[in-house]
Amino acid sequence: MTQSTLINPADETVVQVVAQTSIDEVDDAVARGVEAQVRWAALAPAARAEALRHFAEAVDGAVEQLAWLEVANSGHPITQARWEAGHVRDVLHYYSAAPERMLGAQIPVAGGIDLTFLEPLGVVGVIVPWNFPMTIASWGFAPALAAGNAVILKPAEWTPLTAMRLAQIATESGLPADLFQVLPGRGSVVGERLVAHENVRKIVFTGSTEVGKKVMAGCAEQVKAVTLELGGKSANVVFADSDLELAAATAPSAVFENAGQDCCARSRILVEQSVFERFMTLLEPAITAVAVGDPRNEDTQMGPLVSKAHLDSVTAYQPDDRDVAFRGSAPTGPGFWFAPTVVVPPNRIDRRVTEEIFGPVVTVLPFTDEADAIALANESIYGLSGSIFTRDVGRAIRVARGIQSGNLSVNSHSSVRYSTPFGGMKQSGLGRELGPDAAAAFTETKNVFISST
Ligand code: NAD
């Protein structure tokens, strides 16, 4: 049996050793999932809703425990980790309303009536990344279960602990056995097997664009449904007419939250030329004020990067002070630390501008006018999120419509609400999660004609 040793990113101590799932074990889990799904789908919708409410309540009772697990496993600041665990509870509550609202249609046709039914798909594979292990998992498993499916969740290699605990909590709360299984293991073993298995009828993949393309190709082999939530390189567009103090004060959390390991990170700040210097003057104290340190501390805003390998990857983009305007602070000693770093690159094609660094490095570039701002924001293979700071409502709408991105916010950097759709354009993804339609995305519409003659 292969094992994986999990390292605490803040102090490099061993957290836990986790057994890795084999291909045979994946196959067994899928077989059990197939049977569990049939029983689950046969329950009355109200009974499924009640089971999901109990699951949500059990997560609520375990918020503190889940949060501290995430602190140890992922290095997330405790206040952030509490929010993440609470978000899982809220997502479950929201989708517990779905089973009783899976409405079909009655369509007028000649010679009878036509009815449609939203039928569950069967077993759904949810493959998640390491940056928000609990929350992103819940965006897949909660609506999939609500729609009458069984779920097999594969957490990322580095961060399986909260997902594994959620599976236990599900069972303790009374969710039927084998309905929600969590299989820690390698992407090349568990992930690939879920994609290739003919009894897994949909894959929800969140991760890098590179792996997402492989997953999509694998799903094509069996005409399997797939949702892809992939990389990002989002723009934070600051116009001269905006509340510059607000834009500068919120820019650090828009990119450095979760140490920049955020698909929605606004890692390109674009500032109208006429206020560039003023914005930078306001930004510097906001950056140096970011509290970077021990994630167990209630006041910490930014923790370490998730692993040594990821620290090396981020450092390769910014190994020295080249083009650095200013930096925040970071602890020295054990742990995978990287200080918040603001870069003014020499041009728009620098790889720090075009590639997803996924760490606390932000580039700041000037633009000339509205058209230039939109063009610059769109100079990316990605299109996940973004912000627009302006006091002109008409401009806010024009620019929001002009930027090729799935989630935009005006005078804000909020991207994720469980009640609104979330997903990317271009190479940031395919399909939407969250919002009122997410459970239906885990069904197929069946059309039944009943003759009246
Ligand atoms: P990754 O693509 O390396 O891995 C994601 C998951 O896929 C992991 O569980 C991994 O084990 C698994 N995997 C790896 N190879 C596989 C394969 N061949 N078949 C099936 N599964 C496989 O991504 P990561 O490094 O864990 O996460 C960071 C990336 O995720 C960033 O690009 C980030 O932008 C993206 N992300 C996107 C969103 C979104 O909602 N759009 C959210 C969070 C993270």
* Confidence (pLDDT) at 228: 98
Active site residue 219: no
Question: How many degrees, rounded to 5, is the angle at CA 84 between CA 83 and CA 90?
Answer: 85
Residue 135 alpha carbon to ligand 1 centre in Å = 14
Ligand 1 and 156: CB distance under 6 A = yes
Active site residue 264: no
What is the residue with the minimal CA distance to atom 11 of ligand 1?
187
Report the atom number in ligand 1 closest to the C-alpha of 210.
2
What is the residue with the minimal CA distance to atom 30 of ligand 1?
207
* Confidence (pLDDT) at 1: 72
What is the residue with the minimal CA distance to atom 10 of ligand 1?
187
Residue 7 alpha carbon to ligand 1 centre in Å = 19
Cβ neighbours, 10 Å, residue 372? 14
Q: What are the average pLDDT values for consecutive 10-residue runs of the chain, which has 453 residues?
A: 95 98 98 98 98 98 98 98 98 98 96 97 98 98 99 98 98 98 98 98 98 98 97 98 98 97 98 98 98 98 98 98 98 98 98 98 98 98 98 98 98 95 98 98 98 94
User: Among 292, 3, 9, which Cα is nearest to 130's?
Assistant: 9
Ligand 1 and 214: CB distance under 6 A = yes
Residue 322 burial by CB count (10 A; 0-12/13-18/19+): exposed, middle or buried?
exposed
Cβ neighbours, 10 Å, residue 339? 19
Report the atom number in ligand 1 closest to the C-alpha of 155.
9
Distance of alpha carbon 422 from alpha carbon 264, whole angstroms: 11
Residue 132 alpha carbon to ligand 1 centre in Å = 11
Ligand 1 and 231: CB distance under 6 A = yes
Residue 210 alpha carbon to ligand 1 centre in Å = 9
Question: How many degrees, rounded to 5, is the angle at CA 90 between CA 85 and CA 95?
Answer: 130
- Secondary structure of the chain as H, E, C letters: CCEEEEECCCCCCEEEEEECCCHHHHHHHHHHHHHHHHHHHHCCHHHHHHHHHHHHHHHHHCHHHHHHHHHHHHCCCHHHHHHHHHHHHHHHHHHHCCHHHCCCCEEEECCEEEEEEEEECCEEEEECCCCCHHHHHHHHHHHHHHCCCEEEEECCCCCCHHHHHHHHHHHHCCCCCCCEEECCCCHHHHHHHHHHCCCEEEEEEECCHHHHHHHHHHHHHCCCEEEEECCCCCEEEECCCCCHHHHHHHHHHHHHHHHHCCCCCCCEEEEEHHHHHHHHHHHHHHHHCCCECCCCCCCCCECCCCCHHHHHHHHHHCCCCCCEEEECCCCCCCCCCCCCEEECCCCCCCHHHHCCCCCCEEEEEEECCHHHHHHHHHCCCEECEEEEECCCHHHHHHHHHHCCCCEEEECCCCCCCCCCCECCEECCEECCECCCCCHHHHEEEEEEEEECC
Q: Which residues pair with 430 in a beta bridge?
A: 228
Residue 406 alpha carbon to ligand 1 centre in Å = 19
* Confidence (pLDDT) at 216: 98
Enter the pTM of the model.
Answer: 0.98
Ligand 1 and 262: CB distance under 6 A = no
User: Among 361, 345, 390, 235, which Cα is nearest to 287's?
Assistant: 361
In sequence order, the 6+-apart residues with CB closer than 8 A to the CB of 399 are 237, 370, 373, 374, 388, 390
Mutate which of 4, 131, 233 for ligand 1 pocket (most atoms within 8 A of beta carbon): 131
Report the atom number in ligand 1 closest to the C-alpha of 209.
32
Ligand 1 and 75: CB distance under 6 A = no
Report the atom number in ligand 1 closest to the C-alpha of 207.
30
Mutate which of 6, 193, 208 for ligand 1 pocket (most atoms within 8 A of beta carbon): 208
Q: Work out the end-to-end distance of the chain between its first and last CA atoms, rounded to an integer number of angstroms.
A: 63
User: Among 415, 295, 283, which Cα is nearest to 362's?
Assistant: 283
Residue 208 alpha carbon to ligand 1 centre in Å = 4
Interhelix angle 133-146/63-74, nearest 10 degrees = 130
Instruction: Evaluate whether 88 touches 139 at the Cβ level (below 8 Å).
Output: no
Is the dihedral angle over the CA atoms 206, 207, 209, 214 positive or is it negative?
A: negative
Residue 95 alpha carbon to ligand 1 centre in Å = 24
What is the residue with the minimal CA distance to atom 16 of ligand 1?
187
In sequence order, the 6+-apart residues with CB closer than 8 A to the CB of 41 are 120, 148, 149
**What are residue 363's phi and psi, to 5 degrees?**
-100, 145
Residue 394 alpha carbon to ligand 1 centre in Å = 37
What is the residue with the minimal CA distance to atom 36 of ligand 1?
207
Cβ neighbours, 10 Å, residue 45? 14
Ligand 1 and 10: CB distance under 6 A = no
Ligand 1 and 136: CB distance under 6 A = yes
Distance of alpha carbon 404 from alpha carbon 384, whole angstroms: 8
Instruction: Report the chain's C-alpha Rg in angstroms.
Output: 23
Catalytic residue among 192, 263, 272, 433: 263
* Confidence (pLDDT) at 78: 98
Strands 425-426, 268-272: pairing kind: unpaired
* Confidence (pLDDT) at 242: 98
